[in-house]
C-alpha cells in the first residue's frame, strides 16, 4: 500500500467518524423537534418516506393476493371491519375529519380518495402496521382472511358515495373478525346500522351499494 493510498484511507475514516459524531451529538442534544404539531424537515421527511416505501415493497413483494378480492361477501365483510376500525384515521365517504385524524402526523391518507392500489402492499401494512406512525399491526388480532377482506373493500371504496358506503356497511356483519373485537375502535355514529343486519332490508342495501351511481365517487 502506497503512502498516498494509506493517507487517503485515514482521511476518509477520520471524516466518516467526525460525521458520525456530529449526528450522534445532534440526536443526543434533543434539538430536533419530535412533536407531531411540527412538520419534519424536507430531508428527514423524504428519507422516512423512502424508507417506508422501500421496506413495504421489499416485504410485500412475495405476497399473492387471493383470487376472490372481487367477491361480494368478502367486500361486505371488509366494509364492516373498516367502518369499525379504520374510519377514525382514514375516514370514508361522508365522514368528516376526526380529532384523531387531525392530530396525527404524518397525516393518515383518506382511503376513500382514489390513489395507487397495490393489494399486497395494503395487506402488509394492515397486518404489520408502521412504526411510530399511529398505524397499528392489526395482524395481532385479525386472521389473514379478514385482513384480505379489508383489502377487498379498499379496492371498492373510492367508487362509493356516502349513501352507498353506509348501505354497504349496514349490510355487513359489523365489527367481526373471528374474536378479540372491542367497541373502542368505533369513531363515529353508527346508530341504526345494527338493525339492518337482521332484516331483509340489509340484503337490498348491499346489492344497491355496488351498483353504478349517477353521482361521482367521492
Q: What is the pLDDT of residue 202?
A: 43
Q: Cα(218)–Cα(130) distance, rounded to whole angstroms?
A: 26
Instruction: Tell whether 33 is covered by a domain.
Output: no
pLDDT tens track of the chain, all 218 residues?
Answer: 676 688 888 999 999 999 999 999 989 999 999 999 999 999 999 999 999 999 999 999 999 999 999 999 999 999 999 999 999 999 999 999 999 999 999 999 999 998 889 999 999 999 999 999 999 999 999 999 999 999 999 999 999 999 999 999 999 989 988 777 776 555 444 444 344 444 444 444 444 445 433 333 33
CA 213 centroid distance within chain: 26
Helix (H) or strand (E) holding 145: helix 144-156
**82 falls within a domain:** yes
Q: pTM for the complete prediction?
A: 0.78
Beta carbons within 8 Å of 155's beta carbon, 6+ residues apart:
69, 70, 75, 117, 119
Residue 134: give its domain's CATH number: 1.10.760.10
**Residues spanned by the domain of 196:** 68-209
Q: End-to-end distance of the chain based on CA atoms, in angstroms? A: 67
**185 touches 85 (CB < 8 A):** yes
**21 is a domain residue:** no
Three-state DSSP class for residue 164: helix
- What is residue 216's predicted lDDT score, i.e. its pLDDT? 34
| Residue 139 CB burial class (10 angstroms; 0-12, 13-18, ≥19) | middle
pLDDT for position 181: 78
Rounded to whole angstroms, how far apart are CA atoms 92 and 169?
Answer: 11
pLDDT of residue 184: 57
What local confidence, expressed as pLDDT, does residue 209 receive?
A: 47
Segment 191-194 long-range contacts (CB within 8 Å, at least 24 positions apart): 193/166, 193/169
Tell me what pLDDT residue 23 has. Answer: 92
Q: Which three cell numbers stand for residue 164?
A: 352507498
Residue 133 lies in a domain: yes
The cell for 64 is 399473492
> How many domains are there within the chain?
1
The predicted pLDDT at position 185 comes to 54
* Cα(147)–Cα(182) distance, integer angstroms: 16
Q: Is 29 contained in some domain?
A: no
Residues 114, 87: Cα–Cα separation, whole Å = 16
CA atoms within a 13 Å half-sphere pointing along the CA-CB vector of 197: 14
Asked if residue 80 is part of any domain, the answer here is yes
CA 21/CA 202 separation, integer angstroms: 63
Amino acid at each position: 500500500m502506497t503512502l498516498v493510498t494509506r493517507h487517503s484511507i485515514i482521511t476518509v475514516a477520520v471524516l466518516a467518524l467526525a460525521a458520525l459524531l456530529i449526528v450522534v451529538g445532534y440526536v443526543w442534544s434533543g434539538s430536533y423537534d419530535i412533536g407531531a404539531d411540527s412538520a419534519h424537515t424536507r430531508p428527514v421527511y423524504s428519507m422516512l418516506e423512502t424508507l417506508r416505501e422501500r421496506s413495504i415493497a421489499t416485504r410485500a413483494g412475495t405476497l399473492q393476493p387471493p383470487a376472490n378480492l372481487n367477491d361480494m361477501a368478502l367486500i361486505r365483510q371488509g366494509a364492516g371491519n373498516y367502518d369499525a376500525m379504520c374510519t377514525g384515521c382514514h375516514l370514508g365517504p361522508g365522514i368528516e375529519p376526526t380529532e384523531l385524524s387531525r392530530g396525527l402526523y404524518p397525516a393518515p391518507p383518506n382511503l376513500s380518495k382514489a390513489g395507487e392500489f397495490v393489494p399486497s402492499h395494503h395487506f402488509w401494512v394492515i397486518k404489520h402496521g408502521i412504526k411510530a406512525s399511529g398505524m397499528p399491526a392489526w395482524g395481532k388480532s385479525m386472521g389473514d382472511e379478514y385482513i384480505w377482506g379489508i383489502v377487498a373493500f379498499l379496492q371498492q371504496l373510492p367508487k362509493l358515495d356516502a349513501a352507498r358506503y353506509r348501505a354497504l356497511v349496514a349490510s355487513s356483519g359489523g365489527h367481526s373478525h373471528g374474536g378479540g373485537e372491542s367497541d373502542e375502535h368505533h369513531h363515529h355514529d353508527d346508530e341504526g346500522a345494527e338493525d339492518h343486519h337482521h332484516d331483509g332490508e340489509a340484503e337490498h342495501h348491499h346489492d344497491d351499494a355496488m351498483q353504478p351511481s349517477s353521482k361521482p365517487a367521492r
